Each structure stands twice: as C-alpha cells, then as structure tokens.
Amino acid sequence: MTSKFNLENKVAIVTGGSRGIGKAISLGLAEAGADVVPVSRTKAAVDEVCNLIENLGRRTLSITTDVSDESSVKFMIEKVIKTFDKIDILINGAGISPILKSAEKTSLEEWNQIINTNLTGVFICSNEVGKIMIDKNVSGTIINIASVGGKVGLLRQAAYCAAKGGVIQLTKVLALDWVKYGIRVNAIAPGYVKTDLTAGVMNSEKIYNDLISKTPMSRFGEPEEITGAAIYLASDEASYVTGEVITVDGGYTVW
C-alpha cells in the first residue's frame, strides 16, 4: 500500500457497519489506519465489529443509530464529535431489501420503508455530517453505497431501484454543492454480494442460477471485494474524483 492510501489520523463513520459490506469496509478502513465508528440498529453486532477494530489497533466507539431517524442520527454524530472532535469520512452503507415483489403488489408502506432507509437515510446522514465538515473546515469525503439497481432495472425491486437511483443522483448533487468546501462525494455500485441482504436470493436455486448466468464472472462477490474501492475513494489517491460512481459487479452491467 502506498502512503497516499494511508488513512492514519482520519475518523470514519460507517453506517451499516455491523454486517456484510459495511463491516468489511469498516475493517478495511481500520487496516488502512483510520479510527472507525461502525453504526447500525443492533448493539451486539456493533460491539463485535468495534472489538475487531480495536484489535487492529484503532480507536472506535460503540453506538447504535437508525439512519432513517433524524434525531437518532444527530445524537450519534454528537457522540462521535465529543470523542473524536471531527469526521473525515462518512460511508453510507446502511440498507435494506426486504421484499421481492412486482410493483403492483408493493404497498405504500413497503415502498416508504425502503425509501426511508435507503434514500432518506443517506440524505440525513450526509447532511448532518456535511454540516460538521463545513463548520470544522474539514475537507472530508462521503461515499454512498448505491447498487447496480441504481443503474439498471432489477425485476420486482421498484422501491429498491428507485432509492438507489436516487442515491446516485444525490451523490452527484452533493458533490456539486460541496465542492467549494473541499468535500468529495462519490458512490460505489456493487453487484450481487454474499451477505444477509442476498441470503433470500441465494437460497432460491432458480433465482440464484439466473443471477449467476447474468453475471460475466459467474459468481456473487464477497463483501471484502467492495473494500478496495472504498479505501481508494476515501484516500488522497482520489483527490481529483468527485460525483463518480464506481461499479464493482463482476461485469453484471457490462452486457
């Protein structure tokens, strides 16, 4: 690793940091030298990742938050600032995909649940962290975990794709709004990755085989295969990159 990928003295918050892709990114950032606060709604899972971060010799803080709840996010960020006095990196990784239903069978309640977490949650966390970066004059960086579903349509995932498409557009607008503060905002669009979120599709042989047949690399990714893009975007190596979406999908969106 060259010195420009070094994240020493940086403080990172990773939403959705307790499991799957967010956990892998939390540990990757810590390995690259950052102090990392992984957050989610489940204390025991957050504690576990905090222990792993401490084992890597980095500082951390165990705190829960619901990204769709503005007051919960504000409380979490206050605690991070009390402990670390700044935030350099925000990874918006928290996300859900609880339903696989054709649009006409999707209720408004189901739609709102997904939009509130996957899109509004990104807006709330980015805004609250962005304001602090601006106040403290920190040229920080925000990385949103979007999805290939933000770029192409995925069957029976209207709300998920609408939210992720929204995340990609939000990434571009935040990049424009905050370039004057030296804040870079980018996104990563993963393809299918082996996590709890995809356990349902992996358990259905028919759906799984169909997805594999549509992926040139003929496999799902591992959570750790998303980490490199996050470290790159968080580091000084990406100093001229903003408003960009890096796709990490085994070729899913190539054909």
Residues that bind ligand NDP (CB under 6 A): 15-16, 18-22, 40-42, 45, 65-68, 93-97, 117, 121, 145, 147, 190, 192-193, 195-198
Q: How far is the CB of 45 from ligand NDP (least distance, A)?
A: 5
Minimum CB separation of residue 23 from ligand NDP in Å reads 7
In the complex with ligand NDP, which residue's Cβ is closer, 31 or 48? 48
User: C-beta of 102: minimal distance to ligand NDP in Å?
Assistant: 20
> What phi, psi does 40 have (nearest 5°)?
-160, -170
Is 160 designated active site? yes
- Nearer to ligand NDP by C-beta: 195 or 227? 195
In the complex, least distance from residue 245 CB atom to ligand NDP, rounded to whole angstroms: 12
Using the structure block, give the residue that is written with the tokens 């794709």: 161
Q: Which of 160, 192, 232, 252 is catalytic?
A: 160
Whichever of 178 and 192 has its CB closer to ligand NDP, that residue is 192
Given the complex with ligand NDP, which of 24 and 34 has the nearer CB atom?
A: 24
Considering only CA atoms, which of 67, 59, 21 is closest in space to residue 41? 67
Give the DSSP per-residue string, the chain: --GGG--TT-EEEEETTTSHHHHHHHHHHHHTT-EEEEEES-HHHHHHHHHHHHHTT-----EE--TT-HHHHHHHHHHHHHHHS---EEEE--------B-GGG--HHHHHHHHIIIIIHHHHHHHHHHHHHHHTT---EEEEE--GGGTS--TTBHHHHHHHHHHHHHHHHHHHHHGGGT-EEEEEEE-SB-SGGGHHHHH-HHHHHHHHHTSTT-SPBPGGGGHHHHHHHHSGGGTT--S-EEEESTTTTT-
- Residue closer to ligand NDP by CB (options 140, 221) is 221
Smallest gap from Cβ 99 to ligand NDP, in A, equals: 13
Active site residues: 160
